Amino acid sequence: MKAFRSVTSRAVVLDRPDVDTDQVIPKQFLKRIERTGYGEFLFFDWMKDPQFELHGQEGRILIAGRNFGCGSSREHAAWALQDYGFDVIVAPSFGDIFRQNSLKIGLLPVAVPPDDVKALMQRARGGEELTVDLVERTAGGIPFELDDFSRECLLEGLDDVALTLQEEAAIAAYEAAAAPRASTLSLG
Amino acid sequence: MGRTLFDKVWESHVVRRRDGVPDLLYIDLHLVHEVTSPQAFESLRLSGRSVRRPDLTLATMDHNVSTGDDTPVDPLSEQQLGALARNCEEFGVPLYATGSGREGIVHVIGPELGLTQPGITIVCGDSHTSTHGAFGALAIGVGTSEVEHVLATQTLPQRKPKTLRISFVGEPAPGVTAKDYVLAAIGELGVEGGIGHVIEYAGPAIEALSMEGRLTICNMSIEAGARAGMIAPDDVTFAYVKDRPGAPQGDAWERALEWWKTLPTHPDAVFDRELEIDVSQIRPQVTWGTNPGMVVPIDGSVPDPASYGDPDARAAAERALAYMALEPGTPIREIEVGRVFIGSCTNARIEDLRAAAGVARGHRVHPSVRAMVVPGSAQVKLQAEAEGLDRVFVEAGFEWRRAGCSMCLGMNPDVLSPGERCASTSNRNFEGRQGAGGRTHLVSPEVAAATAIAGRFAEARELAELVA
């Protein structure tokens, strides 16, 4: 995955709560079997509206309302945001699966309290560049929480499948000790 | 102190635990479909990795398939379905393809085959994987990177979520269903209320439900933001699993049963949060907005955003009403629909179809409504036909279609046209979910069937007057 340390950039404001992944990338683009090229379809339906907030805004940081990325598990949503040019999403909270998907690809989800998000939105609207620093765990100077393991994986761009494959002995031991599972190969 | 159902399942699946690192959980069953898997298989191919346990993996085709004879899938869907078939062949993963007789919505076939069992861990690249928790399994929806991780390692690193118990007490009034319980719960909790939590649904009103009803409830856990939903296994659960193709047999069944009976939450166990809902106070629910938490009883009216204290919620409600083309104060029963969809992993099991057919029997679909019934699996379709439900629907003017995800998410030819309004038994009323510009109202199968006949939101009990 893409490694991330820090970014300093203008920020894009999308001040709406509960932005679901169906809006981030509508279903018709989920039929592709590639992992790239989703950026041009980001917020496809909303982009058709000339009044949509994203028009005229540029930056590598997206600041959004609570529960960003709720709904569908489609990782395409995280791919689309990253492909469009975002490195960081700041919001008061995230849909769990979206947050997990983002961490897996090097798109940093930053959760800070709602009042801090509003303050960052104000600063972004004023044209200020913000720095999101994963080493220090700060966004625009505001500290955010991210567990050490996720931080390490992001800083190093680690492939966590490779990490887990190093646990082969533990996995095999678990399998040997566990009760037998229903086999999908012998359903008759 | 006793442990929760969730704790017991989690702890029995920890492969490796280290400080500061997520637990590595063993995954007993990995369900795969065409939409979220191609990039995962491609990545395995590029890194020269194999599928560790094809025997714990099962694929089916559901999201993109056509449910009508008249409508072929588009070339991109064809390509994606073909990719799944080729990937399963190459990696040795069993596949129930369209036409196999065992295909269907991934969350319908797992239980139907007896693969979904108490106490196991299940993942699928689909947020509605929470459905399987109805059996007392820990079932988690994941993205494509995690699909790849499970294919390669049969494990998943996970941080332990918090626990929330929702106790359902009281006796429901006639016409109130599991769908109404869960919509009311989401209305109460909010669409972000469950973030970071696993919900256990408990209490006498849950124990009184069939497996179908329990599946409907767990299915929508994700709509409250929860990581998973679970219900303690009991005799209803055991009777459902017994003798299905994937169920343990003979001595193995007895041993499994013994273990399953130890799974329910201990009376002393403590949850991070608790909520109680009195189902006697619940009326049939109808969503009015663009997320499942925007819900009112059918006797209610479209709310006025001006009444909302929180400015974000107010702005969201205003946007939702503009999208839904609804005026504040409009009684729900006066809202007319043009489409009705009975189907999806929420409500397309045999009991759902029986309930809808029970309402439809002897009536006619309103002339201005197009209504479709889409069974959740090929097996559900066969069973419904054996019971004559298909004839009830067809005689009433409903379309009877082949199994698939259909209009729940419109990745196939079943979609709403812009501006069309639909009463749907599915799980999401997001903007454009059922087709760009489409307007979705979530309801139970009973309300969907009655609404198809009345042409506006209605309960079954109103239909007699309608005919008179």
From chain B, the residues in CB contact with A160 under 8 A are 149, 157
Query: Could you say which of A94, A174, A182 has the minimum Cβ distance to residue B117?
Result: A182
DSSP string, B225-285: T-SEEE----HHHHHHHTTSTTS--HHHHHHHHHHHTT-SPPTT---SEEEEEEGGG---E
Please indicate whether, in this complex, the C-beta atoms of B16 and A28 are within 8 angstroms of each other: no
Q: Chain A to chain B, count of Cβ pairs less than 8 Å apart?
A: 206
The pTM of the full predicted model, rounded to 2 decimals, is 0.97
Nearest residue of chain B to residue A66 (CA atoms): B192
Give whole-number Cα distances, B395 to A96, B87, B356, B384, B414, in Å: 44, 42, 13, 15, 21
Please indicate whether, in this complex, the C-beta atoms of B24 and A164 are within 8 angstroms of each other: yes
Residue B37 has pLDDT above 90, yes or no: yes
Q: What is the pLDDT of residue A161?
A: 95
Please indicate whether, in this complex, the C-beta atoms of A179 and B255 are within 8 angstroms of each other: yes
Q: What is the pLDDT of residue B239?
A: 98
Q: What is the pLDDT of residue A159?
A: 85
Nearest to B441 by CA among B210, B193, B179: B179
Distance CA B350, CA B47 (A): 43
- pLDDT bin (cut points 50, 70, 90) of residue B468 is low
Nearest residue of chain A to residue B252 (CA atoms): A180
Nearest residue of chain A to residue B245 (CA atoms): A187
Question: A71 CA to chain B: closest CA distance, Å?
Answer: 7
- pLDDT bin (cut points 50, 70, 90) of residue B1 is confident
Q: What is the pLDDT of residue A179?
A: 84
Q: Fill in the DSSP letter of residue A147.
A: -
Query: Could you say which of B39, B113, B127 has the minimum Cβ distance to residue A72?
Result: B127
Q: What is chain A's mean pLDDT, rounded?
A: 96
Distance CA A123, CA B330 (A): 40
Please indicate whether, in this complex, the C-beta atoms of A27 and B409 are within 8 angstroms of each other: yes
Q: Look at residue B132 and give its three-state secondary structure.
A: helix
Nearest to B6 by CA among B245, B242, B221: B221
From chain A, the residues in CB contact with B432 under 8 A are 22-23, 26, 45
Distance CA A163, CA A168 (A): 10
Q: What is the pLDDT of residue B467?
A: 63
Can you tell me the mean pLDDT for B258-263? 98
Please indicate whether, in this complex, the C-beta atoms of B152 and A165 are within 8 angstroms of each other: yes
CA A50 to chain centre: 26
Nearest residue of chain A to residue B76 (CA atoms): A31
Can you tell me the mean pLDDT for A10-14? 98
Please indicate whether, in this complex, the C-beta atoms of B127 and A97 are within 8 angstroms of each other: yes
Question: A144 CA to chain B: closest CA distance, Å?
Answer: 17
Query: Could you say which of B38, B145, B315 has the minimum Cβ distance to residue A33?
Result: B38
From chain A, the residues in CB contact with B83 under 8 A are 33
Query: Could you say which of A76, A93, A97 has the minimum Cβ distance to residue B141?
Result: A97
Contact B10, B230 (CB under 8 A): no
Please indicate whether, in this complex, the C-beta atoms of A160 and B149 are within 8 angstroms of each other: yes
Query: Could you say which of A16, A27, A76 has the minimum Cβ distance to residue B316?
Result: A16
- Could you tell me what percent of chain A has a pLDDT over 70? 99
Please indicate whether, in this complex, the C-beta atoms of A185 and B125 are within 8 angstroms of each other: no
Query: Which of A14, A34, A148, A184 is best to mutate for the B interface (most B CBs within 10 A)?
Result: A184
Can you tell me the mean pLDDT for B123-136? 98
Is B171 exposed, middle or buried, given 0-12, 13-18 or 19+ CB atoms closer than 10 A? exposed
Question: B56 CA to chain A: closest CA distance, Å?
Answer: 6
E strand segments, B113-214 = 121-124, 138-141, 155-158, 162-169, 197-202
Query: Which of A2, A164, A168, A175 is best to mutate for the B interface (most B CBs within 10 A)?
Result: A164
Residue B330 main-chain phi, psi, to 5 deg: -70, 125
Question: B358 CA to chain A: closest CA distance, Å?
Answer: 32
Residue A111 has pLDDT above 60, yes or no: yes
Residue B69 has pLDDT above 60, yes or no: yes
Longest dimension (CA), chain B: 69
